[in-house]
Structure 1
C-alpha cells in the first residue's frame, strides 16, 4: 500500500447516498473494510433514512434529514499506527445502510397466469387476467433489514414487485369467490374490489416491513375460451329475450326455426322425403304453428307490443313481408 493511499484511507469522510436511483429501495454504503472513521459525517437527504450496524449488533435508526457526526472506535491515524501488523484493518466494523423513506408509487402488478374460477350465475369456467398499480413505504426498516435484506448490498423496487406479484392473485381469487361475482359484474366492481384486496394484502406487506398505501385494479382481460363462452351466453340470452317478446319460449322459437328451415330446404329432409309426404307434413306443421302465433299476437297486448312481435317474426323469416304488412294494417285499423 502506497503512503498516499494509506493516508487517504485513514481520513474522516463524508458519507451520503449520492445520485439516488429511484429503482433502488435499499443501499449499502460502500466501504473497503467497513471501517468508518471517528468524526465522519453522515448526510441524510429528504426522502432517505439510514440504519447503522456497529460491531455486528445494535441497529441505530436515523430517519430525519440532516447531518450527523459519527462516533466510532476507529480514530484516524491512531488506527494506522496501532494496526500495522493487521494490514491496517480494524476489528471495529460499522455497516451503513441507506433506504428510501419516500413512498414508492405506481408500481405495476399483473397476474402472470390467468386466474381461474367458476362463474356463480352460469356455472361456467372463467379465466381472467388483471393488472394495476400499488404504492407502499418502508414502515419497519429494522424488520425489513433483518428479514428481507440479510446480506444484500442493494434491494431494488423490482425485487419487491416480484414478491407482491406472487401474493396478489390468491387474494383476488378469494375476493371474487367471497363476493360471488359473475364475469359480467367484475368490471363494475373494480373500485370496491381494489379496496378489499388492499385490505387483504396489508398483512403481506406488514410481514415484509412495508405498508401498502394504495392499490388499484386498472384492467381485466378474459382469455379467448372465456370470451367465446361469454359470446355464446350473450347470444342465447338475446334470443331468449327475443322469443319472449313474441310470446314464445326459447325452445318454441327454435322449434319454429327448425320447421321453417326444413320446409324450405329442397335438398334436405323435405326434399328427400317429398315422395313420402314428409316435406308436405313439415310444411303443414310450420303453417299451423305460424297461424297459431299470428292469432295469439292479435288477441293479446297493446298495439306497440303486437308490432314488436310481428317485427321479430319477420326478422326470423317466419312470416313474409306481405303477411307482416297485412297483419300490421289489421292491428292499426283497430286503434
Structure 2
C-alpha cells in the first residue's frame, strides 16, 4: 500500500473545485503534501479565480479555463532529491479558489439606535436595516486581509465585519445628509445609490470587495415617537373637532352601558348650555326697556360676570366654566387672581 501511495503521489494532479454551498468565499485545494507537480492541470470555472502560492508567496492568478502549472516539483526526482528533508520536497505550493460570483441578499442593520438632529423632532434616535450585494474583485488582497490560509472560508465568518463597516458608513452619511426623519421613507432608493460611492472605497481598499447594491428597506423611530406621529395623524384625519365629538357621543350612546353614561355627560352639559341661553334671551327681552331707559346713564359701563355668576346663568358648575376659560373656548380677562367675563363673550361662547 505504501508503494501504491508513493506512485499515486508522483502522478500529475488535475486540480479543480465545484461549490455547492452557496456561501463559500474561498477554498484552499486540499493537497496533503503540498507538492504540486510540474505540469499539473488546473481547471478554473466561470465565477472563479485561482491564486497560486509558491514557497509562501503569491505568484500567478488564473481566470476561467484550463491551465498547465509550472513548478519546481518534478515527479519522482524532486522526492528523491529531498532525501535530506525526509524525502519531502521543499518546494511547497498552494492553490486557492476564490468565488467571484455576486453574493446577494446579505442583511445589515443598526444594533443600536443612531442619534441625529431632526428639524421636526429635535434630537431623535433612528433604527435602520436593509440588504446589500457584493463580490470579490481583488483576490490577493482578499486572501491576505480577510481569508488568510483558511481552507474553507465562509460568508458567516465575515458577515459581522461587513455589517459593522456598512452601518458605520450609513450612520455618518445619514447624519451628514440632514434628511428629516419623516422624509427618509421617500428617499430609500436615493440614499442607497448615494451610499455606494462612499462605501466602496473603504471596502475595496481594505478588503478587496465591491458592494454592487445597497438597499435601505426601513428606517424607524422609537415607539414613543411613533405614538406622537400617530396622534398627530389622527388629529389631521379628524379635521373638525366639534363634529368628531358629536359623532363619538352618538356612538357611545348607541352602545349603552358605560359608553352611554360617558357620552350622556357632554350631552347633558350641552342641554344645560341651551337652556341657559334661552333663559338669558328671556332676561334680555325683559330688561330691554329698562336698559333703553337707562342707556344714557350706562353708556360708559361694561356688563361683566364672575365665573360663579356665569356658572349660575348656564346651570353648570364653576369648574366647567373655568375649564372652558383655560381651554380658550370662553374669553375672559384675569384681573389679579380673579377672572371677569363680559356678557358679550358669554353670548359668543353660547353661539359656538
TM-score by length of 2: 0.67
Instruction: Say which is worse superposed, 169-178 or 65-74, in terms of deviation.
Output: 169-178
Partner of 2:187: 189
Q: Secondary structure at the match of 1:109?
A: strand
**Is the CA contact 1:115–1:169 (under 8 Å) kept in the aligned structure 2?**
no
Partner of 1:171: 169
Deviation digits for residues 238-285 of structure 1 (CA, Å, limit 9, x no counterpart) = 68x65799xxxxxxxxxxxxxx98x959xxxx9xx99xx835854996
**How has the CA–CA distance of structure 1 residues 49 and 150 changed in structure 2, closer, same or farther, with 3 Å as cutoff?**
same
What is the CA-CA distance between 1:222 and the residue it aligns to?
3.4
Partner of 1:250: none
What is the CA-CA distance between 1:235 and the residue it aligns to?
5.2
Partner of 2:18: 18
**How has the CA–CA distance of structure 1 residues 47 and 18 changed in structure 2, closer, same or farther, with 3 Å as cutoff?**
same
Partner of 1:278: 318
Aligned pair 1:60/2:60, yes or no? yes
**How has the CA–CA distance of structure 1 residues 80 and 264 changed in structure 2, closer, same or farther, with 3 Å as cutoff?**
same
d(CA) in 2 for partners of 1:7, 1:31: 15
Q: Secondary structure at the match of 2:190?
A: helix
Deviation digits for residues 273-331 of structure 1 (CA, Å, limit 9, x no counterpart) = 99xx8358549966775742676xxxxxxxxxxxxxxxxxxxxxxx6xxxxxxxxxxxx
Deviation digits for residues 7-41 of structure 1 (CA, Å, limit 9, x no counterpart) = 21221111011344320011111111211011110
Partner of 1:4: 4
Partner of 1:30: 30
Aligned pair 1:214/2:270, yes or no? no
Partner of 1:43: 43
What is the CA-CA distance between 1:197 and the residue it aligns to?
1.7
**Is the CA contact 1:127–1:223 (under 8 Å) kept in the aligned structure 2?**
yes
d(CA) in 1 for partners of 2:61, 2:9: 26
Partner of 1:126: 125
Partner of 1:100: 99
Aligned pair 1:144/2:117, yes or no? no
**Is the CA contact 2:126–2:219 (under 8 Å) kept in the aligned structure 1?**
no
d(CA) in 2 for partners of 1:174, 1:52: 39
Q: Secondary structure at the match of 2:182?
A: coil
**Is the CA contact 1:132–1:219 (under 8 Å) kept in the aligned structure 2?**
yes
d(CA) in 2 for partners of 1:121, 1:147: 44
Matches within 5 A, 1:81-120: 81-120=80-119
Q: Secondary structure at the match of 2:229?
A: helix
**Is the CA contact 1:127–1:226 (under 8 Å) kept in the aligned structure 2?**
no
d(CA) in 2 for partners of 1:81, 1:233: 86
Deviation digits for residues 77-123 of structure 1 (CA, Å, limit 9, x no counterpart) = 11333334533311001111110122222222222333332322221
Gaps of 5+ in 2: 244-264, 271-307, 331-343
d(CA) in 2 for partners of 1:283, 1:124: 34
What is the CA-CA distance between 1:188 and the residue it aligns to?
0.9
Q: Secondary structure at the match of 2:78?
A: helix
Aligned pair 1:154/2:210, yes or no? no
Aligned pair 1:292/2:348, yes or no? yes
Instruction: Say which is worse superposed, 180-189 or 214-223, in terms of deviation.
Output: 214-223
Deviation digits for residues 153-190 of structure 1 (CA, Å, limit 9, x no counterpart) = 23222234322210222322223322322221111111
**Is the CA contact 1:126–1:226 (under 8 Å) kept in the aligned structure 2?**
no
**Is the CA contact 2:135–2:211 (under 8 Å) kept in the aligned structure 1?**
yes
| Aligned-CA RMSD value | 3.5
TM-score by length of 1: 0.70
What is the CA-CA distance between 1:149 and the residue it aligns to?
2.3
Q: Secondary structure at the match of 2:66?
A: strand
Number of corresponding residues: 273
Match 1:180 to one of 156, 178, 181: 178
Name which one, 1 or 2, has greater alpha-carbon Rg: 2
d(CA) in 2 for partners of 1:221, 1:113: 12
Q: Secondary structure at the match of 1:212?
A: strand
